Amino acid sequence: MLRKLFCAGLLGLAALGTARADGPVRLIVAFPPGGPVDLVGRVLAEQLGKELGQQVIVENKAGANGNIAAAYVAKAPADGSVLFLTSVGAVSISPALYKDLPYDPARDFAPVSRVVNNATVFVVNPSNPASDAADFVKRTQAAPQAVAIGSSGIGSIPHLTLEMFADASKAKVLHVPYKGAAPVINDVMGNQVAGFFGDVPGLIGHIQGGKLKALGIAAPARHPLLPEVQTLAEQGIAGVESNNWYGLVAPAATPPAVIDRLNRAVRAALENATVKARLEKFGAQAAPTSPQELAALIAADRQKWTALIQRKNIRPE
């Protein structure tokens, strides 16, 4: 009897070391197909499936700045069968914006690994005479009225980056919130608004195609796909750094052994040369971490963005 119990215990421990083996892993993406998060998710899913020896299927659950997908994953089975590819918004910004979130990022998720870093770039219409962001600031200060800068919505990374930029540079700008990135990008290309702060992956094609002009990078270093574009700090606009990273989390009760296995698989996937090249082609930079490092990043960014949201009294629509 004791031997049977011992063997059963070993089998139970072994089972904890794998993601659920009786079906595919579902990778939940909080944004529609075709966008930057979705593109990263599909590149990751393909290689992650190979590393895990299981099919990984991307499911898009868009809406409410990622909150719908986050709430869904928070209540999902905690066995490694459902994972959430989150951007910084759902786990580090939404808690400061919304009073009645249906989930708690600190309580309801087990961090697995950061997946990519996404630098923020400031773009304008190619006809804009500004040579860089510092020149743009001078021109706004000399303009008779505030210059309109679009964002993808109140409390979004583009909006918060604009607030930091305005504070640091004293640019005379007016925030114009849109519902998503696509319409504001179209309006910058159509000269309806003067500029936009957005993720490199979502803008690199337009920049390389000559439809948008990049004036500055809101990051500690220049971007490898835009080596000629100076950082804002290089232009004398200090303290404006915005990284809309994407990370992988699981439901909070997922066993540590499963988290460890998933972390190893993500690291292996992101170290694959083909995967790195595919991500870098559209501007995302592979950046795996330990679960503990992702937890610290989520907490640090939550503190950073909460302080800005409270200081500027930003409220969702």
Measuring CA to CA, which residue among 207, 235, 205, 204 is closest to residue 132? Answer: 235
Are 104 and 133 contained in the same domain? no
Torsion of CA 44, 48, 54, 55, to 10 degrees: 10
CA dist., res. 214 & res. 212, Å (int): 7
* Positions in the chain whose pLDDT score sits under 50: 1-19
Model pLDDT for residues 160-213, shown as the tens digit of each residue: 999 999 999 999 999 999 988 899 999 999 999 999 999 999 999 999 999 999
- Domain final residue, candidates 235, 254, 271: 235
CATH number for the domain that contains residue 267? 3.40.190.150
Are 249 and 162 contained in the same domain? no
Q: What is the residue range of 272's domain? A: 2-118+243-311
Model pLDDT for residues 40-78, shown as the tens digit of each residue: 999 999 999 999 999 999 999 988 888 999 999 999 999
pLDDT of residue 192: 97
Are 260 and 295 contained in the same domain? yes
- The residue ranges of DSSP E strands in 30-167, in sequence order, are 56-60, 82-87, 109-117, 120-124, 147-151
CATH number for the domain that contains residue 137? 3.40.190.10
In a domain, 317, yes or no: no
pLDDT of residue 22: 62
pLDDT of residue 32: 87
> What is residue 198's three-state secondary structure?
strand
In a domain, 316, yes or no: no
- Domain final residue, candidates 201, 235, 269: 235
Are 257 and 109 contained in the same domain? yes
CA dist., res. 5 & res. 275, Å (int): 44
Q: Name the DSSP letter for residue 91.
A: I
User: Locate tokens 């409270």: which residue?
Assistant: 310
Are 212 and 124 contained in the same domain? yes
Are 9 and 59 contained in the same domain? yes
Are 20 and 113 contained in the same domain? yes
pLDDT of residue 2: 39
pLDDT of residue 64: 82
Q: How many CA atoms lie within 13 A of 205 on its CB side?
A: 6
Are 256 and 212 contained in the same domain? no
Q: How many domains does the chain have?
A: 2
Are 249 and 113 contained in the same domain? yes
Are 113 and 252 contained in the same domain? yes
Residues 6+ apart with CB under 8 A from 50: 269
Are 86 and 113 contained in the same domain? yes
- Domain final residue, candidates 235, 262, 287: 235
pLDDT of residue 165: 98
CA dist., res. 260 & res. 255, Å (int): 9
In a domain, 215, yes or no: yes
Q: Supply 189's token pair.
A: 């290309």
